Amino acid sequence: MAGFDAARARDDVRAFIKKNFLFGADASRMTDGGSLLEAGIMDSTGVLELIAHIEGAYGIRVGDDEMVPENLDSIANLVAFLSRKLAAGAARS
């Protein structure tokens, strides 16, 4: 996707997580590189909610084989995944 803005995607994902999982609590334990599962910010159901959000917001489909920690367990991994996924979609267009 031309014009992918990683900083904007990071801010979007952080805002979604804060609103839906931290419920206004202190977000200081949420770092870009930290595991969202290990930090107790999200559980497996939360990962599915996050996937639904990014699929809708970015017009992608996350395949079963892509639902791995390397893609989804931190904000940094998620933004990198979005960048790769959108670039691959743009290359096919």
Structural domains of the chain ordered from first start: 6-92 (1.10.1200.10)
> Which residues, in sequence order, are CB contacts of 15 under 8 Å at separation 6+?
none
* 59 φ, ψ (degrees, to nearest 5): 65, 40
Per-residue model confidence (pLDDT) at position 90: 66
Any idea which residue has 């489909």 for tokens?
61
Q: Please give the mean pLDDT across all residues of the chain.
A: 90
pLDDT band at 1 (very low <50, low <70, confident <90, very high): very low
